A and B are shown apart, each in its own frame.
Chain A
């Protein structure tokens, strides 16, 4: 399978400069290796630090138990599922898995297909856990933009949907401009967010002006 690679730019929050990065429409061996050999040890350090400082577990990263190796293995060979990653300086900075089969719920687009973002996670050094300065910004937005563009390519007009971990509610609502359809009783009461065609166009204008 040919992997599509797009050049993107990420702000380096520590240096104030922007860095060239790549968006890839696959999660193959290298991103999973990075997750195992770089993300996992970094996350373990963060958790040790949070525990030592007595930070309540409710404030620990809520995706800390995600196993990307298992997540990609369970959909291997299934054409409904796609993976994306962002790399910068040769290291994976963010991962996303999407499902192309769910249907929209919001009244104006109910029953129409969308790209459902099942999992999206940025590398632990790109989060501000425990007051740290994130390394690269814009990784989550770049992945959401990839989901929107995939939705357009598939004829879904930019519609996307997702259930958000509580720590990310503000990102999807305020940064991505998605519609908050409230807690979902059928999905651990996580809030369900959806992006309409109009919102998708507005998001892309903001995120990835051509």
Chain B
């Protein structure tokens, strides 16, 4: 259905007149139905209707009166125009495969490569996922993506799935969290539909299974997954798996399954570096119709370092604050909106706190970190503490060196390089570093 012309013009005026948040929140959800001398605006619920009536209806009336050659009455009510509803894909009928509506496993179309931000931390995983999307069932099968929480594993996995479907309209791709896979299987056993369950998963062109570590200790589900996995791989169909840890470190999962996880391509995702965090924030803001200045984006990205979800949480706070106060999003508003978070971080992240936390973690004394002792049990924690101080505080390198027994800034630089190198090569160092970050950041 074509958008009504008068409403179209109104929208364009209102978009110019209102702040983007207000326009996107209150005006965009309205559906318009034009009937002879009447424009019916349908709000999704009474709350929106009341708000629009109170704040914007007068202006809409004026615009309609100005933009229309005849007398048009504007009517605002709660409702939904059936013609706006999208039709359900007929792919399943066309392929004759079991319906995807029977079992959970719907891809989220909003996860694409276009809205994924590439950085050093996810470059490899992104390239691999893209290849899988372009060429499913090819060389990277299974694709195993691992990394900490909130770093974008699910986004990449689903972007690969969406690309597969873009390239082949008839492809059947299912995304499922491993917990839902287990729950679905239990339900199928209870309802005596386990054969349909098996047939569905084994008939897919691509299976994307998220957070596989949740399979730990669930031997029956692992058994079923093992057979599904083999069937798909034997049929040159794609499997993508994510986990919060390297496949060999998953506990409570059968050895044969773990070894198969590693039989394709295994790629890590690390925490995003500052520039990537800035880019992610800007893109997420843009998706909500907001332009974020570099100053604000850098400010937020410096406050929130651990993962992408927390960046999103911070953005929610800032947007809510801007909506409430009606003020533009600048550094003052962002600082005020994130006050609670900053108080918490400032309390936690001092160089003394870093040294104390590292010393406690490695069971050494804080004075050891300040000392000149050069045995491995002391130097490694010291280097790690220096590296954390560089990452988590705004202190200069000479200042950091000073707090470690009057060391030179080149010592700090060397320590950071050493730890960076070890993070790539040594799983234990990586684990220690991540644990310390968690202890300090929360």
A pairs with B: no
